[in-house]
Structure 1
Amino acid sequence: MPHSLAALALSMVSALGAAPTPSPPAASPPAVRYEPAGSERAEQARRLLKESGSLRTKIRLPRAVEVVARDCDGRSAPWDARESRITVCYSLVDRLESTLTGISETEEADARAIGRRVEAALTAFFHHELGHALGTLEGLPDAEDQADRLAALTLATDRPEQAVAAAEARHLLAAGHAGLGHLAGEEESATFACLLYGADPARNAAIAKGGWVPAERAPSCAAEYQQAKSAAGPLIVKGP
């Protein structure tokens, strides 16, 4: 299994057993709360986040989890296992929008493309934190690469229509930009893109065509996705 996929599988198997049985899923997906903003800029970010629908999910977790969007600086970890809470700071939303707008304007992309990229980046970030929550609530050791792989699995299951845009947004941010959470890293971006491409190579062909996953790796992505999905076992539960 390439690119640390074996480590993910082993960690899941050792934590959950050879035939893992997940905890009963929560009665509903995570509840989302948008707190008031303290400035006009933060209010713009709050509206953008809420209107994008990026925090919507039908993925069920083994325990109730709250998702809170608030006016904060984002220095603390967005996933708080002790409080069972995912926090999304309006400052992060603002940085994502301004960074992707700047990148897109150099490409002379139109407003629609910019909006699509921002929404996809927010969705990718949320699913990364959902991956942290899902793993730790099932007793797995918390790790960034594990959260990233679970993020690709949950996004492919929950928001398949966002797969191509999410891979593109991660690719654009891969070089590293300050204050953008866990969306940077070229190797991490390539793995995320590979799993999303592998989930549906026909529908997500633009991921390979765009070069967001290395050409030599693309043929193995379907197998990588199936291996990751098998390793996760019944962790990924989608509600009605």
Structure 2
Amino acid sequence: MPHPVIALVLSMTSTLGAAPAPELSVRYERPDSSRAEQARQVLKDSGALRTGIRLPEPVKVVARDCDSPTATWDHERREITLCYSLVDKVRGTIKGISQTEETSPGAAQARLDGALSVLFHHQLGHALTTLNGMQDSDAQADQFAALTLAADRPRRAAAAAEARHLLAGHAGIDHLSGLEESATFACLLYGSDPAGHARIAKGGWVPAERAPSCAAEYSRVKSTIGDKVVKVGT
């Protein structure tokens, strides 16, 4: 049964990107180094923090320098933090993989944008979980992230699944590492629209034997935490 207190509303202005929700404010703090400045620009240019998700309460998103490469949600402060050092680590790893595979610049950029979108939506998942009085966990945040990304940024779903698949085996990349987690995330994204997101299955980012059941898996998750809750308008 759907959780009784969830009040998640999605409102998209276009399929390419959404205007910020009134409940969400985004701030990019001044970087302390040229490398952090580059990461700040990468994050801004990616559009990963643009969303039309409407939250139960106001939430702040802050990109800043940190002591370690992380992304976090602070329920008491109602604040999502994305560290420039994490953005830099993701950028460097994606760049290295893409150069090894001789990927085109456009495809490499799509991978990076997809990875940064996953980072943001995962933290947004933590926010939605705790703001709606649910038990918080990375698995729960991932489920919300798949639902919100699929509804809010459907054109970025395949790139997000690919990027997470590529990063799954790289330890220490906050919320993007983990082979099993990557496969589940890809399955939910694919299951949200198997025809529209066919590239996820063709790319092997969800195991072939699991792909046929992904639509049902997505439906189960949606009915549990998001049925009649995820709405898309203009």
Normalising by structure 1, report the TM-score: 0.87
CA offset digits 1:163-195 (Å, max 9, x no partner): 0000000000111332x2111111100000000
Contact kept in structure 1, 2:64 and 2:81, CA below 8 Å: yes
Equivalent position of 2:6 in the other structure: 22
CA distance in 2, matches of 1:68, 1:214: 35
Q: CA deviation at 1:41?
A: 0.6
Aligned to 2:115: 121
Partner SS state of residue 139, structure 2? helix
Letter of the 1:125 partner, please give it.
L
Task: Give 1:108's aligned residue.
Answer: 102
- With over 3 angstroms needed to count, the CA separation of the structure-2 counterparts of 1:182 and 1:118, relative to structure 1, is same
Between the aligned partners of 1:75 and 1:94, the Cα distance in structure 2 is: 8
Give unmatched runs, 5+ long, in structure 1: 1-8
- Secondary structure at 1:166 match in 2: helix
User: In 2, distance between residues paired with 1:212 and 1:24?
Assistant: 28
Equivalent position of 2:188 in the other structure: 195
Cα gap change, 1:21/1:138 in structure 2, threshold over 3 Å: closer, same or farther?
closer
Measure the CA separation in 2 of the matches of 1:43 and 1:239: 35
Cα 1:93–1:85 change in 2 (3 A) is same
Tell whether the 8 Å contact from 2:71 to 2:123 is kept in structure 1 after alignment. no
Tell me, yes or no, if structure 1 residue 132 matches structure 2 residue 126: yes
Q: Is 1:84 the equivalent of 2:84?
A: no
Residues of 2 paired with 1:81 and 1:237: CA distance? 24
Cα distance between partner residues in 1 of 2:228 and 2:174 = 28
CA contact (8 A) 1:29 1:57 kept: no
Answer yes or no: is the 8 Å Cα contact 1:60–1:239 preserved in 2: no
- Cα deviation for residue 60 of structure 1 reads 1.0
Q: Distance in 1 between matches of 2:56 and 2:233?
A: 12
Once superposed, what is the RMSD of the aligned Cα atoms? 1.9
> 2-side partners of 1:237 and 1:36: how far apart?
35
> For 1:40, which of 13, 22, 34 is the aligned residue?
34
Question: Is 1:222 aligned with 2:215?
Answer: yes
Q: What number of residue pairs does the alignment pair up?
A: 223
Does the 8 Å contact 2:146/2:188 carry over to 1?
yes
The equivalent residue for 2:163 is 169
Q: Is the 8 A contact 2:57 2:131 kept in 1?
A: yes
| Counterpart residue number, 1:5 | none
Separation (CA, whole Å) in 2 of partners of 1:98 and 1:61: 32
For residues 107-138 of structure 1, the C-alpha deviation after alignment (integer angstroms, 9 at most, x for no partner) is 11122221111111000110000000001110
Out of 154, 159, 165, the residue aligned to residue 160 of structure 1 is: 154
> TM-score, normalised to structure 2's length?
0.89
Q: Within 2, Cα distance between the matches of 1:206 and 1:85?
A: 34
Report the CA distance between 1:75 and its aligned residue: 5.9
